[in-house]
Amino acid sequence: MSERQVLNKTNLGIKDGLPLQASEGGIEELRKDIQRLMDIEAIKQVKYAYFRCVDTANLEELGTLFHEDVTVHFRGGHYEWKLQGREEYVTNIGKSFSSEAVGQHNAHHPEIQILSETEATALWYLADNMWILNHNVKTHGTALYWDRYLKVDGKWLIKETNYERIYEINDVLEERPKLSSHYLGTHGTQPKL
């Protein structure tokens, strides 16, 4: 696994974006200011949809959130994922979020930088819980995501997504949790034995 790095904007390749202040010009400049705010909101919605689609194994919609050449690099306590391309990533998520999984992933505190009309970056703070029921394991912790976005045909897409764990706790469960509701139990993929 790759060496841990200092998680600051410089090391993550995050640069300052366009200023978040109203222009002093006329109506066209004001329209551009409003568009930047709408782009920031659209990027938030893409990332929020990402976590909803992951936790519900909505692979069809999940695929619409990524650029076809997306680069993925995730670093956890005992794992490292390096994937290239939308199809490879969505396929791997489908294997992880099976009917024997329970996932809860939340992104907080977005720091979004609009670099141009078609490029942006963002930092996100993740808090998550993940149970793999057929292995009697629960993982929980936090991570720092850093993403790059491209606006293609008027829609923001994730072009690159990375995370590194801030902390991760892996617990072996003595018994299977008694779930009163288990969405993926019905809608998750079938686990490979």
Average pLDDT over residues 50-71: 97
Number of domains present in the structure of the chain: 1
- Residue 5 lies inside a defined structural domain of this protein: no
Other Cβ atoms closer than 10 A to 66: 21
- Residue 132 lies inside a defined structural domain of this protein: yes
Average pLDDT over residues 36-42: 96
- Residue 11 lies inside a defined structural domain of this protein: no
Q: In whole angstroms, what is the distance from residue 138 CA to residue 94 CA? A: 18
The mean of the pLDDT values for the chain is: 94
Average pLDDT over residues 172-181: 96
**Predicted local distance difference test score (pLDDT) of residue 46:** 98
**Predicted local distance difference test score (pLDDT) of residue 8:** 83
The model's confidence at residue 2, banded by pLDDT at 50, 70 and 90, is: low
Residue 15 confidence (pLDDT) above 80: yes
- Residue 167 lies inside a defined structural domain of this protein: yes
Average pLDDT over residues 130-145: 96
- What CATH number is given to the structural domain containing 75? 3.10.450.50
- Residue 119 lies inside a defined structural domain of this protein: yes
Domain that holds residue 124: 22-187
Helices (H) and strands (E) in the chain, counts: 5, 6
For residue 23 the two structure tokens come to: 């222009």
- Residue 99 lies inside a defined structural domain of this protein: yes
- Residue 105 lies inside a defined structural domain of this protein: yes
Beta bridge partners of 104: 129
**Predicted local distance difference test score (pLDDT) of residue 7:** 83
- Residue 68 lies inside a defined structural domain of this protein: yes
Average pLDDT over residues 130-141: 96
